[in-house]
Amino acid sequence: MKDTQIKILVVEDDPEQRQLICNILKASEFLVDDADCVEQAILKTKTSEFDVIFSDWKLGELSGIELLQYVRKHCAYDVGFIIATAYGTINHAVEALQKGADDYLPKPFKRQELLLTIDKALKAKTLRGENKNLSDQLSEQKQLVGLVGKTPKMQAVYQRIDKVSSTNATVLILGESGTGKELAARALHDSSARKNEKFIAINCGAIAESIAEAELFGAEKGAYTGAIATKIGRFEAANNGTIFLDEIGELTPSLQAHLLRFLQEGTITRLGSNDELKLNVRVIAATHRDLDKEVQRGNFREDLFYRLNVVPIFMPPLRERQQDIPLLADHFIQTHAKQHHCELPKLTADHYRQLLEYHWPGNVRELSNRIERFVLLSDDSELTASATSVQTGPTDTPDFTLPNKAFSWDNFERYCLSEALKMHQGNRTKAAKYLKMSYKAFLYRLEKFQITTD
């Protein structure tokens, strides 16, 4: 007997032929079962697991091709497949191979030929298994670089990252706020040859205009009042590595010109100097804005846009990849519980349903923040009730417009909390109610911003 017996299903409608084939295989110590038609064979694949199916082409009304197609589409396990074709019907053989057969055997065949083709199908099946393991490992590695998500839209992102990681091409990452643009930029850096060099992230909207040039490109001693020593800019600091320019749409016209020059010539000039410095820095830019429109409006240089947009990567909003929500929720539960040394709370089926129903305007960042509060406060309303209540409609949103200039969200939140408290003479219950927030969530935020009521 062989160590692990190989199981073969013989499908043949001619009883004599069937018996003959089964006998040859049994004599070679294979475990053999048989079927006289496609229907019976399908039933058998549902109740037993075979290593190889050896099927005749012509099987009454149906053919071995129908069985092959069924097996390749619906069988719960992988199986080697061989079709026996009538002599001279090479077109059948070609069709069988095209539809996923591992081999074909023209009739009449000799014992040795039958055994050889079985061996070939077994090898093909093993190879497929190994390839699958490899690609599973590969997709797990993709998750290691930080991005969670398995939907086709995220797979497309991984493929793009994979393709460009081995090049030095400039990449523009587009997508709404909180969709993971910075994470994708880091993933790209980590999978590139520059991974052991610096990754420097800059929020272009957050640097004060007056110091922006020196900050990015450096300045010589005495170049401006207060420049008491030579200042190394972020581009220089990122030499041999990657620079990530977030919110690229906020760059001033003068800095746009400097950046364009760097992208064209690979050189920078420190403020107050005439010397050009040649640098080797990969640029990844990102924006939540429609840069095309900004170009049309005259806010963004067209030549710079084309230089940046060599390879665009689009980060899909969370509402367009809903199947990833449970995966992300589980991921954030784990990471936040670990980070805050809390017990792992359990998400119920109802929680998942509500998370799936919500439209996530703040994308993955909002999901992460909600889960973090849920982990810290163990309060369902943090996760779901408030999520659904936000969804109740724009009528609930206060009537004010955002300023054109960038502003600090943290300061704004602190301001809203303090104002709500002032309005209610320091009464925290009333202030929480006014902000449509659970009492616990309100206290958590007061603590976060160290706002005291006395």
Binding-site ranges for ligand ATP (CB under 6 A): 147-149, 175, 177-183, 246, 288, 364-365, 368
φ and ψ at residue 393, rounded to 5 degrees:
135, 160
Q: Which is nearer to ligand ATP, 79 or 328 (CB)?
A: 328
- DSSP, residue by residue, 346-374: PPPHHHHHHHHHS--TTHHHHHHHHHHHH
Q: Which is nearer to ligand ATP, 80 or 175 (CB)?
A: 175
Q: Are 180 and 188 in contact (CB under 8 A)?
A: no
Q: How far is the CB of 142 from ligand ATP (least distance, A)?
A: 11
Q: Which is nearer to ligand ATP, 77 or 412 (CB)?
A: 412
Q: How far is the CB of 70 from ligand ATP (least distance, A)?
A: 37
Helix (H) or strand (E) holding 7: strand 7-11
Q: Which is nearer to ligand ATP, 273 or 369 (CB)?
A: 369
Q: Count how many Cα atoms sit within 13 Å of the Cα of residue 289 in the half-sphere of its side chain.
A: 19
Q: Where are the alpha helices (DSSP H) in 245-362?
A: 253-265, 291-296, 302-308, 325-339, 349-357
CA gap 194, 353 in Å, rounded: 42
Q: How far is the CB of 143 from ligand ATP (least distance, A)?
A: 8
Q: How far is the CB of 150 from ligand ATP (least distance, A)?
A: 10
Q: How far is the CB of 72 from ligand ATP (least distance, A)?
A: 33
Q: How far is the CB of 180 from ligand ATP (least distance, A)?
A: 3
Relative to beta strand 80-85, strand 103-106 is parallel
- DSSP, residue by residue, 201-226: EEETTTS-HHHHHHHHH-B-TTSSTT
The residue with its CB nearest to ligand ATP is 180
Q: Which is nearer to ligand ATP, 198 or 288 (CB)?
A: 288
Count of Cβ atoms closer than 10 Å to residue 198 Cβ = 15
Q: Which is nearer to ligand ATP, 78 or 294 (CB)?
A: 294
Q: How far is the CB of 236 from ligand ATP (least distance, A)?
A: 24
- 435: tokens are 């902000």
Q: Which is nearer to ligand ATP, 119 or 294 (CB)?
A: 294
Q: Which is nearer to ligand ATP, 212 or 315 (CB)?
A: 315
Q: How far is the CB of 328 from ligand ATP (least distance, A)?
A: 6
The CA angle 301-306-307, to the nearest 5 degrees, is 95
- Provide the greatest CA pair distance for the chain: 101
CA gap 82, 119 in Å, rounded: 11
